[in-house]
Amino acid sequence: MWATAMTAMRATARDRPNTLGAGVAVKRIQENMDNNNNLMIPAALVDKLVAAQHITVLTGAGVSAESGVPTFRDAQTGLWAQYSPTELASPEAFARNPQLVWNWYEMRRRLVEQVEPNAGHRALVELAAIAPQFTLITQNVDGLHQRAGSVNVIELHGGLFRYRCYECDMPVTAQEWQTGAIPPKCPTCGGNVRPDIIWFGESLPERNLALAFQASRVCDVFLSIGTSGVVAPASSLPYEALSNHATVVEINPKETELTYDATFVLRGPAGQILPALVAKMKQR
Ligand code: APR
């Protein structure tokens, strides 16, 4: 079985299987802009995408950056700055101070409610319609893929707008819980309701993880978008794809842990690159 606990992991190229074979893979790191500032997409990548039977996509915080969703740490301003991430996002923190943790997630929910999906989210909806088979895996909890129209999204780290009971683990909706208390109380057992988010030290949902690994194993093209690739086990998904000879593409304005191993690297914001990629595919 996989290591399912969410842990920050900085894997080095040395730790990974050398799946591409030194000297065999042709590395194409694109600066992506021509002299007229037009976005350039390698034709060989468009060929791969058009021919692909199954495209698997992994997204991270970067895909929501252009919507203005602050990262966990960026949201820690004002009175929240005094807390460490584990004081706000761990089972121990919730047991110690459920009100504090509930209020932190209330604040983050309000931030996300004020923003909209961006062109990158929307391009992935179009890509799903073009590809014969398509799997979208996300580490994001903001629900913006779903709001853009993506379906069957595999959420690895939970969702900000879902809840369950801390005591009996039953899913709870805002219509069901008893109002008044913070956090609200479970209608089944009276326990504290918690966000359905995977906290530090908790296991990822086993079924979702299994689906994510399977989709990474069987795809022809794997897109890693807006993720730094430092949090396991999501960080190992592109390597699962590489081991099975898929074309692995990184879309990110900055270098990441995956850059060295990716087949193609597209440098730039997802909200610009993804629509351009989909437009090129449609022109074929
Ligand atoms: N388009 C694409 N990528 C972008 C953009 C953009 N417009 N803006 C920033 N990025 C990239 C950054 O360069 C960075 O590599 O997005 C990445 C975001 O990295 P992280 O903040 O580490 O986010 P992520 O990889 O999703 O983190 C994984 O860690 O904090 C936990 O649970 C949280 O799900 C999260 C997990």
Q: How many CB atoms lie within 10 A of CB 196?
A: 19
Query: Residue 195 is encoded by which pair of tokens?
Result: 């966000």
Beta carbons of 208 and 6 less than 8 angstroms apart: no
- 280/49 Cα distance (integer angstroms): 10
Tens of pLDDT, residue by residue over 172-197, are 999 998 778 999 999 999 999 999 99
AA letter at 199: W
* Fold for the domain defined by 70-114+158-197: SIR2/SIRT2 'Small Domain' (3.30.1600)
Of 156, 252, 277, the residue with max ligand 1 atoms within 8 A of its CB, to mutate for a pocket test, comes to 252
What ranges do the domains of the chain cover?
A: 21-67+117-157+206-284, 70-114+158-197
- The answer to whether 157 is a known catalytic residue is yes
Q: Which atom of ligand 1 is nearest to the CA of 59?
A: 26
Residues of the chain with pLDDT under 50: 1-4, 6-27
- 79/218 Cα distance (integer angstroms): 46
- 50/76 Cα distance (integer angstroms): 42
**pLDDT value for 34:** 66
**pLDDT value for 79:** 87
User: Which amino acids bring their CB within 6 angstroms of ligand 1?
Assistant: 60-62, 65-66, 71-72, 139, 157, 226-228, 230-231, 251-254, 256, 269-271
Q: Which of 265, 280, 276, 249 is nearest to 120 (CA)?
A: 276
* Fold for the domain defined by 21-67+117-157+206-284: Rossmann fold (3.40.50)
